[in-house]
Amino acid sequence: MLTGQVTDATGQAPFEGAIIRIDETGQTTATNRFGQYRLINLEPGTYTVTVEYIGAPSVTQTIVIPEAGADLDFILGDDVAYEDNIIVVGTKAAQASALNQQRVSDALITVIDSDGLGNFPDTTVAESLSRAVGLSVETDQGEGRYVSIRGINTDLISSSINGVRTPSPEGRRGVLLDGVPSDLLDGIEVQKSLTPDVDADSIGGVINLKTLSAFDRKNQFFRAKVEGAYNEITDQVSPKGSVTYSNTWADTFGAAVSVTYQDLAIESHNNEIGEWDRDANGNFFVADDYEQRWYDLTRERIGLVANFDWRVSDNTELYLRTLYNRYVEDEIRNKFEFREFDEEIIGVTPDSTTIRRGEVDAEGKLRKEIRNIQTYSVGGESFAGAWTVDYQASYAYAEEDDADNHDIKFRSTPEQRDSNVGSITLTYDDPQQPIVSGQALPFLLTPSNYELDVFEREFTINKDTEYGAQFNVAYDGQLGDTPVVWKAGAKYRDRKKTRDQNIVFYERDDVNLADFIRSDAEVTDWRLSNRMFRWPDANLTSALRGAFTEDELVLDDTLLESSVGDYRIDERILAGYGMGTFTLGQATVVAGARVEQTNVDLLGNLFDEATLTATPREVSQDYTDVLPSVNFRYDFNDRVIGRAAYYAAVVRPAFGDMAPTALLNDDRDEIELGNPNLQPYDADNFDIGLEFYPTNLSVFSIGAFYKSIDNAIFPAEFDIADLPTDIDLSFLPAATLAGITDVNTFINVGSSKIYGMEVNYIQNVGDLSDALDGFIFSTNLTLSDSEATLPDGRDVPFLKQSSAVWNIALAYDKGPWDLRVSGNYRGDFLDELQEAELDRYTDDRFRVEASAKYRVSRQLQLYLEGRNLTDAPEYYYFGDESRLSQYDEFGRTVVFGARFTY
């Protein structure tokens, strides 16, 4: 047996993904995140051992291995100080580490790695992931929030923190990644083809966030960062800071702690149209409302990682991993909404809609949303000859607390609506910024003409808790002359998802808008076409909290909203698997199967608007899935690698879709309900690709993927006569069921497919010309398409499926300078189903960013970054780009800061 470690010249920075080769036997292995390697089944004798690592020259040593085994460490890179070693610091370091991990993996993975000092260029995990091949993000207020892999909806992928499934504080399975600061991480791995030892609940892939460990670096390590972010719309500087400390003692015990804090100010300008329709002449017109929104908010992020590692002996390692993340969003929103276009239309042209009167709402919202995500895991790994055993117990918790907010709405008075004060015209020849005009505007811009319509308080909490335990055992042996690693294991997950929704509504006749505005109410730096006001003032209307009496309570709306949204879901998954990793000359095959048994108990309410009563509804499900997978890798030579993979996956329905909630309207002829009988998505996933490493620190790869999906889930509307048999209404009394005519729910559809290709190219330009030493060029492209057929026969793409995603970047990393400019493009995608030609789409978006870092000394680095430099907005449309759904502007941001490392 041969063991050892691969590090830089100082021993401070371990190299993950280095290939260790025994020249005489051809046996190979790769180093883990701590730079460690282990080779079994070596007879005593003299061997030549070679280490290869992209970004550094190969190193060869000769060693005599006795019966008891031997230990052999390797040093890569120049014999210079740690902070100046280009292999382990800066853009080159991050690129080299990512390429090496991807090259040695038996599965298809994409790695986003920090540099040797643990630095990421982005504020949040979502932003960091948007740079990787095939990955894109959905944004919220200009920040990346949900991550898509190969254009696939975030609900069809999964996320983990140190191997522990990340819980979701929302009613969906997709995880918000805008709240997790990237400063807490040491690396991110995206696994695009699954092996049997990985949870099979992902069609797009698995995102695994790796937090730091003390053994990522040797001995004591300290890093402090402080920065400010200036946004041109907010005209404010937002502070951010982080501190990281790690140390090891006697190379047996290590502790690593990282704390980060950010208080980010955001202001966004928005306008929206709620719905479109078409008249007899074929002209599309506004059929619902037009509104303008002004957002003023802060996002406070507090993150803490505390990790401990204990090398009990040469054969046993134990760990404790903890992550706590708190995200607080304080939001003020003002909305100015022209209502009920469909009831007031007096004229339509191809570029405008005119209504006879302007019923307008002036709305103010003061909201505090508190989210926290926590993960804790304890486990270890033990070795005994050819046997390896690893084990882990985990706890994960997520919560979203919306218990501190209010929403107040004032409406233009009856005098205006019932008198002839003129018309309102909305002109949209510029679809992103329509213009409002008409005789009624002077009346509508007078605050005293608005009276209170409704005052709303919300006290809603979402919770997601999961307990887990897993055990894996591996044996490194032979099958005839074929080296094989046999592996088997079991895992248990117990997840509880609850939503407790409570919304209270009040009405009063004697509250006038004029009493709740301030003198500087107009938004003077407003970027859109029409005037916008900060009225009602959200802080002034806080005085109305607790000011209403029980007689002013709107009982029917309060009971409805406080009952129909509640549910509890208990989901238990027991999984087992077996697999083998076979080394067949230049080929490596990982094959096996995973079996997952799922048991679900669901509880919700049926709410009857006519009687204002809520009736509990309980449903249970259980099913078992057998999920085979094969990953194939062939090393044509040390520069060319071929890959192919197949895996079966199962993605369980979103919690909100399958919750047994139901709403029966007050006429008792229409019901809207979740569907607890939904089947999970079943997918067969295929991949094939080729990687070419032409020069030092470079790669060109191309691949294709195909996904055949059964039981995809879509919202649907039915006449009762056409109701599918898997929609169960038997819980309704017979008399009630007899009166139902329309049903709105979620259903499984038949076969669907997603397919596409990926291209990735990274080039150390200095390998091509000495005159360009220090330059690194990278670009990647993902093209995809999808098809799904709805119950009405209409063919649509998959929800959230981008047809094209690409990145391009040029970096310069040499001496004290580390410079980078990059562009990121995300294609448009279907966001919500409405009807043919009026489905809601998210438009494509291209962002440009740049950064400059300068190392003043071995310990101190200064940096300057520019984000969204082209001031790219976010645009949504209905069916065609000429029909506005939503348009947002966020402005450019400049970040400046300093990093001190010791």
Flag whether pLDDT at 690 surpasses 70: yes
DSSP string, 317-350: EEEEEEEEEEEEEEEEEEEEEE--HHHHEEEEET
* pLDDT higher at 362 or 798: 362
Task: Determine the distance from the C-alpha atom of residue 93 to the mean position of all C-alpha atoms in its chain, rounded to a whole number.
Answer: 25
Region class of 480: left (phi > 0), else alpha (psi between -120 and 50), else beta: left
Flag whether pLDDT at 819 surpasses 50: yes
Q: Nearest CA to 787 among 824, 753, 833? A: 753
Cα end-to-end span (Å), the chain: 36
> Out of 97-111, 114-128, 246-260, which region has the weakest mean confidence (pLDDT)?
114-128
Q: Are 121 and 137 in contact (CB under 8 A)?
A: no
Flag whether pLDDT at 162 surpasses 50: yes
Flag whether pLDDT at 79 surpasses 90: no
Flag whether pLDDT at 60 surpasses 80: yes
Sign for the CA dihedral angle at 201, 203, 209, 215 comes to positive
Nearest 10 degrees: Cα torsion 813, 19, 487, 198: 10
DSSP string, 1-12: -EEEEEE-TTS-
For position 419, what pLDDT does the model report? Answer: 61
CA 193 – CA 864 distance, rounded (Å): 37
Q: Residue with structure tokens 């007031």?
A: 344
- The answer to whether the bond into 816 is cis (omega within 30° of 0) is no
CA 298 – CA 538 distance, rounded (Å): 15
For position 80, what pLDDT does the model report? Answer: 42
Flag whether pLDDT at 83 surpasses 60: no
Q: What is the mean pLDDT of residues 73-101?
A: 69
Q: What is the pLDDT confidence band of residue 150, given thresholds at 50, 70 and 90?
A: confident
Q: Nearest CA to 140 among 324, 334, 299, 290? A: 299
pLDDT digits (tens, 9 = 90+) for 830-844: 999 988 999 999 999
Flag whether pLDDT at 309 surpasses 80: yes
Nearest 10 degrees: Cα torsion 650, 655, 657, 661: 140
For position 78, what pLDDT does the model report? Answer: 60
HEC readout, 218-232: CCCEEEEEEEEEEEC
* pLDDT higher at 421 or 733: 733
Q: What is the mean pLDDT of residues 471-485?
A: 94
Region class of 314: left (phi > 0), else alpha (psi between -120 and 50), else beta: alpha
Q: What is the mean pLDDT of residues 523-546?
A: 94
Q: Locate CATH 2.60.40.1120 in the chain.
A: 1-103
The angle subtended at Cα 775 by Cα 772 and Cα 777, nearest 5°, is 120
Q: Tell me the percentage of the chain whose pLDDT exceeds 70.
A: 96
pLDDT digits (tens, 9 = 90+) for 327-368: 999 999 999 999 888 888 889 999 999 988 768 999 999 999
Sign for the CA dihedral angle at 355, 359, 362, 365 comes to negative
Q: What is the mean pLDDT of residues 573-583?
A: 97
Flag whether pLDDT at 86 surpasses 60: no
Flag whether pLDDT at 595 surpasses 90: yes
Burial (CB count <10 Å: 0-12, 13-18, 19+), residue 590? buried
For position 134, what pLDDT does the model report? Answer: 86
Q: What is the pLDDT confidence band of residue 415, given thresholds at 50, 70 and 90?
A: low
Instruction: Indicate the residue type of 187.
Output: G
Q: What is the pLDDT confidence band of residue 84, given thresholds at 50, 70 and 90?
A: very low
Q: What is the pLDDT confidence band of residue 628, given thresholds at 50, 70 and 90?
A: very high
For position 85, what pLDDT does the model report? Answer: 44
For position 93, what pLDDT does the model report? Answer: 80
**How many Cα atoms occupy the beta-carbon half-sphere of 574 within 13 Å?**
5
> Out of 175-184, 857-866, 893-902, which region has the weakest mean confidence (pLDDT)?
175-184
> Out of 33-42, 116-125, 157-166, 642-651, which region has the weakest mean confidence (pLDDT)?
116-125
DSSP-derived 3-state class of residue 84:
helix
CATH number belonging to the domain at 1-103, selected among 2.70.240.10, 2.60.40.1120, 2.130.10.10, 3.40.640.10: 2.60.40.1120
Q: What is the pLDDT confidence band of residue 708, given thresholds at 50, 70 and 90?
A: very high
What average pLDDT does the chain have? Answer: 91
pLDDT digits (tens, 9 = 90+) for 853-872: 999 998 899 999 999 999 99
**How many Cα atoms occupy the beta-carbon half-sphere of 367 within 13 Å?**
23
Instruction: Give the count of beta carbons closer than 10 Å to the beta carbon of residue 48.
Output: 12
For position 88, what pLDDT does the model report? Answer: 54
Q: What is the mean pLDDT of residues 693-705?
A: 92
Q: What is the mean pLDDT of residues 806-826?
A: 92
Q: Are 62 and 70 in contact (CB under 8 A)?
A: no
For position 887, what pLDDT does the model report? Answer: 98
For position 461, what pLDDT does the model report? Answer: 95
Q: Tell me the percentage of the chain whose pLDDT exceeds 90.
A: 74
Q: Where are the beta strands (DSSP E) in 480-560?
A: 482-500, 503-506
Q: Are 515 and 339 in contact (CB under 8 A)?
A: no
- The stretches of 610-719 forming alpha helices (DSSP H) are 655-658
